[in-house]
Amino acid sequence: MIPNQGVGVTEFDVTAVRKRFSSLSDDFVFLDAPGGTQTPDEVGEAVAECYREASGNIGFPYANSARIGVIVDEARTAAARFLGSDPDEIIFGASMTSLNFTLTRTLGRTLAAGDEIVVTRLDHDANIAPWLELARDHDLVVKLADVHADTTLDLADLERQLGPRTKVVAFSWASNAAGTIVDARAVSELAHQAGALSWVDAVQYAPHEPIDLRAAGADMVLCSGYKFCGPHLGIAAGRREVLETWRPYKVRPAGMDPVGHRFETGTLPYELLAALTAALRYLDDIGGVAATAAWERQLGERLLAGLPPATRLYGLPAMTGRVPTFLMNFPGISSGRLSVQLAERGFGVWSGDNYYAPGLYDRIAWGDALRVGLAHYNTLAEIDRFTEVLGELVSGPQ
C-alpha cells in the first residue's frame, strides 16, 4: 500500500486493499465507480458501533451523548483535512444535491433580480438545476459556458459570459460523464476578477485527486461520501468569510456555531458521520488520495490501451487531464444490451444517455453510451479481462 514511482509503473498493494472489502471477495468486477464505490468493511462497522454505543442525540450529560459529540467533531476534522478547509467550515447534508439546493437557496437571499449565475455544459445537473430553480424564483439570469469538442471547458467562452452582474460561477471540477478535469484555479480566478463566487461540484474529482479548497481559490466545494468508499452523505466546505455573511434557513433554537453548522437543518445522521470518518481513515491508511490517484492512472492507461478498435471514446484520449471515468459506445451496437451482456459475464458497468449532464449530452450527442469508471480497488488483471470480453462482445454477432 506504499506508492513508489518507478519507470512508468506505480506499485500499489491492491491485494491487501481488497481484503478489507467483503463485496470484493468474489470474481465480479465493479467498474461503476462514478455511480458509487464499494465500501470497506470498517465503514459498515463504524455505523454499527455508533448504533450500539452512541444512539440518541447530542448535548446531554451522559456517555452515549458525549460519544455523539466526539463523532461529530471527528467527522468535521476528517472532512476538513480531506477538502483543505477548517473544521468549522464543513457542512453536512443528506446528499450533494440536497445540500446544494439548501446552500443555493440560502445564497439567494443576497441576490437581486437581474443578477447572473454562470454554469457550464460540463456540469452534472446537481450544480445547474438549483441555480435554474433559484433564477425562476428570484428573476435571475443563468448563463451557460460552452465546451470544446473534446469535452474540455472553453475558458474563453466562460470569460465572455462574465459581467458586472455575475454573482456566481458554478462548475464541475471533473465531469461525471466523460471524466474531463477543469482547471479549478483558473476558473476561480476568473470568477473573482468578476467579483463572483467560485462554486465547485467536486463529486467526481474528490475520489480521484487531492483537494485543497484554498489552493483552488474556491468559495464553496461540494462532494459525496459514497463516491470515495464512504456513506451516502453530502459534504461541503465553504469559505468562512462567505458563510458568515449569509442568513441560514434554520429552526430558531438551533445553535449557530460552528459557522458551517448554521446551514445544517435538523439532527445530523450521526451514524453516517462515523462512517465518513472511517472511510477517510481508510484512505489515509492506504496512502491517501495522492497514492490511489497514481494507481488509478496506471489502471486507466491499461484500459485505454486495451479498448477494441471499434470503440468511440468521448472525451480525452489519454489519462492526462482526466479522472478514470470513460464514456464510450460502439457503432451499430446497443449500449444497453452490451451492459447486460457484460453483467452476465461478471462486469458491472452502466449504460445510459445523459448521465445527469444534459448540457454536455446536448453538445456532444453521444446517444446511448457505456460509462466505465475505475476505483483504486480495481486490478490490472480485472482491466485485462474486461477489455478482452468487451472485444469479444463487440466483434461477435449482435
Please give the chain's pLDDT, 398 residues, in tens.
333 333 344 568 999 999 999 999 999 999 999 999 999 999 999 999 999 999 889 989 999 999 999 999 999 999 999 999 999 999 999 999 999 999 999 999 999 999 999 999 999 999 999 999 999 999 999 999 999 999 999 999 999 999 999 999 999 999 999 999 999 999 999 999 999 999 999 999 999 999 999 999 999 999 999 999 999 999 999 999 999 999 999 887 777 789 999 999 999 999 999 999 999 999 999 999 999 999 999 999 999 999 999 999 999 999 999 999 999 999 999 999 999 999 999 999 999 999 999 999 999 999 999 999 999 999 999 999 999 999 999 997 65
User: Which pTM does this prediction carry?
Assistant: 0.95
Distance, in Å, from the CA atom of 8 to the CA atom of 6, rounded to the nearest integer, reads 6
CA–CA gap between residue 83 and residue 12 (Å, rounded): 24
- Answer yes or no: CATH 1.20.210.10 is held by domain 4-41+288-395: no
Query: What Cα–Cα distance (Å) separates residue 8 from each residue in 252, 297, 302, 304, 317?
Result: 58, 10, 12, 15, 18
Residue 3, classified by CB atoms within 10 Å of its CB into exposed (0-12), middle (13-18) or buried (19+), is middle
pLDDT of residue 398: 56
What's the CATH number for 44-283? 3.40.640.10
- Beta-strand pair 234-238/220-224: antiparallel
Domain ranges of the chain: 4-41+288-395, 44-283
- pLDDT of 255 reads 73
Helix axes 41-53, 63-83, angle to 10 degrees: 150
- Tell me the HSE value of 278 on the side-chain side, using a 13 A CA sphere: 23
The reply to whether omega before 258 is within 30° of 0 (cis) is yes
Identify the pLDDT of residue 246: 96
Q: Are the C-beta atoms of 243 and 262 separated by less than 8 Å?
A: yes
What are the DSSP calls for 20-87, one per residue?
Answer: T-GGGSSS-EE-BGGG-----HHHHHHHHHHHHHS-S-SSSSSHHHHHHHHHHHHHHHHHHHHHTS-G
pLDDT of residue 135: 98
Question: Sign of torsion, CA 343 45 323 189?
Answer: positive
